[in-house]
Amino acid sequence: MHASLMMNGLAAGQALETRPARHVIRPSRAAAEMAVRTLIRWAGDNPDREGLIDTPARVCRAYEQWFAGYDADPTEFRQRTFEEAAGYDEMVVLRNIHFVSHCEHHMAPIHGRAHVGYLPRNRVVGISKIARVVDAFSKRLQIQEKMTAEIANTLDADLQSYGVAVVVEGAHGCMASRGVHQSQATMVTSRMLGQFRDQPQTRHEFLSAIGLGRSSACGNLFP
Ligand SMILES: [Zn+2]
């Protein structure tokens, strides 16, 4: 059985919580490894047995990758990545940007993909930069709704385009492995700005491009 939960992103103009990422005082690596040892003991195992002895160090190295987004500045490409578009003014869509994030409620992985579209106003941005914005926000503790809005708002501010659309599909490890045990459920969130919000035709063109057009079971999420 495949179930889909679909919900809208934050309302337009809704303020995002300011993130303290750059202002947090981090504990030492040794303290972080001790915390992992504590969790292993709390789970009921012996952190000094052979198979677990290096685990705290491995977990910390994994955290460095999973949460690298706290050291990334998603707005850093703002000044230097715009390119002349030779008059190109049609929709640009980047589909299937795979990401791995972690939910901020359980620190369980979220596997998913993001789809991003925008309508250029005189200039375009390299597609790798769009993927980098997704990467920067996904490699943090997240809820999917906020991540979707953050990606859209950042691109909207940076691109100065006629509109930005972001749809994110995510499978949540905390839901698959515990609680209601819904291993097949995926959550879909979206944020539509500018012409994607104001013009149904533009919105549908984007949704068709990413395979979520009128014919699919979108309910009344994308009227
Ligand atoms: Zn969770």
Q: For 147-199, write each residue's pLDDT tens digit.
A: 999 999 999 998 889 999 999 999 999 988 888 888 888 999 999 999 999 99
- Cβ–Cβ under 8 Å, residues 94 and 116: yes
Å from CA of 64 to ligand 1 middle: 20
Distance CA 192, CA 12 (A): 8
Angstrom distance (rounded) from CA 189 to CA 205: 17
Q: What's the gap in Å between 169 CA and the centre of ligand 1?
A: 15
Mean pLDDT taken over the chain = 86
CA distance 195 to 176: 36
CB 210 within 8 Å of CB 173: no
Residues identified as active-site = 103-106, 144, 172, 174
**C-alpha 160 to ligand 1 mean position (Å):** 34
pLDDT at 140: 97
Q: What percent of the chain has pLDDT over 90?
A: 65
Percent of the chain that is helix, strand, coil (3-state, to 5): 40, 25, 40
CA of 151 to the centre of ligand 1 (A): 20
For ligand 1, the distance from its centroid to the CA atom of residue 91, given in whole angstroms, is: 34
Crossing angle (nearest 10°) for helices 144-159 and 127-138: 140
pLDDT band at 123 (very low <50, low <70, confident <90, very high): confident
CA distance 73 to 57: 26
Q: Which two tokens stand for residue 179?
A: 């609680």
Decide which of 132 and 180 is more confident: 132
- In percent, how much of the chain has pLDDT > 70? 82
Q: What is the mean pLDDT of residues 113-119?
A: 97
Residue 188, number of CB atoms within 10 A of its CB: 20
pLDDT above 60 (res 27): yes
- Which whole number is the average pLDDT over 26-40? 97
The residue type at 192? M
CA of residue 178 to ligand 1 center, whole Å: 9
Query: Residue 69 Cα, ligand 1 centroid: separation in angstroms?
Result: 19
59-98 pLDDT, tens digit per residue, is: 999 999 999 999 998 777 665 566 677 778 899 999 999 9
**Is 202 a residue whose pLDDT tops 80?**
yes
How many angstroms is it from 186 CA to the middle of ligand 1?
13
Q: What is the pLDDT of residue 21?
A: 56
Q: Which pTM was predicted? A: 0.84
Q: What is the CA radius of gyration of the chain?
A: 20
